[in-house]
């Protein structure tokens, strides 16, 4: 969820208290979790890939599929694995691997998994690849540039200037409320 850190203070017992302000209602979440220990993660917000850049990427993937006979989803999924920086590797109990992989891959076309052996007995390493709906500017630029390169190798016109224009305006787009263009779409 999107929010802003608005206050920080040290309590008498040496603990720290932070205040987070958000526009989203979290009343139910607070009621559920206010009396128990929680794990949380705070990260700097970033503008996700624009819908225009995503549409442009898929238009090129379509041309590449037409030229090569390789299905569009296969081209997209391979490109995700090839660009790097869009995966995490987790070590899980071997008996939980199938369930983790199935659940992860339900997120969208690009959400993929691979497995590797673990040095820990009874465990397996699972590589979790994120779909492009979660990509920031540099990750989506790498994906688009890889697809552009593959198109150019096939002699497919790519309108590289258009791609550069789309990539350069990421994060500068504004929606109707004046917030950054952050899409909630899954891979499309």
The model's pLDDT over 70-106, given as tens digits with 9 standing for 90+, comes to: 999 999 999 999 999 999 999 999 999 999 999 999 9
Residue 60: C-alpha distances to residues 7, 33, 53, 54, 57 (Å): 46, 46, 11, 10, 5
The DSSP bridge pattern shows strands 123-129 and 112-117 to be antiparallel
CA pair distance 141, 136, nearest whole angstrom: 9
Distance of alpha carbon 51 from its chain centroid, rounded?
14
For residue 85, give every residue at least 6 positions away whose Cβ sits within 8 Å of its Cβ, in sequence order, or none: 138, 139, 142
Model pLDDT, residue 45? 66
> Which value, to the nearest 10 degrees, does the dihedral of the CA atoms of residues 96, 185, 86, 69 take?
100
**Residues in Cβ contact with 169 at an 8 Å cutoff, skipping those fewer than 6 apart:** 50, 52
Output the six-digit token pair for 102: 């199935």
**pTM beyond 0.75, yes or no:** no
Q: What is the pLDDT of residues 31-40, one digit of tens each?
A: 888 888 887 7
pLDDT computed for residue 49 by the predictor: 56
pLDDT greater than 60 at residue 182: no
CA–CA gap between residue 133 and residue 57 (Å, rounded): 12
């Amino acid at each position: 969820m999107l929010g802003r850190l608005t206050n920080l203070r040290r309590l008498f017992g040496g603990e720290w208290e932070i205040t987070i302000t958000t526009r989203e209602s979290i009343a139910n979440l607070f009621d559920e979790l206010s009396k128990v220990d929680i794990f949380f993660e705070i990260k700097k917000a970033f503008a996700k890939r624009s819908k225009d850049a995503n549409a442009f990427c898929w238009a090129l993937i379509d041309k590449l599929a037409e030229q090569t006979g390789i299905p569009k989803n296969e081209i997209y999924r391979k490109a995700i694995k090839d660009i790097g920086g869009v995966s995490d590797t987790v070590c899980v109990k071997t008996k939980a691997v199938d369930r983790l992989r199935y659940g992860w891959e339900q997120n969208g076309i690009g959400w993929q998994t691979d497995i590797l052996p673990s040095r820990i007995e009874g465990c397996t390493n699972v590589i979790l690849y994120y779909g492009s709906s979660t990509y920031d500017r540099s990750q989506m630029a790498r994906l688009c540039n890889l697809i552009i390169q593959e198109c150019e190798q096939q002699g497919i016109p790519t309108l590289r200037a258009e791609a550069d224009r789309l990539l350069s305006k990421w994060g500068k787009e504004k929606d109707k409320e004046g917030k950054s263009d952050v899409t909630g779409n899954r891979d499309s």
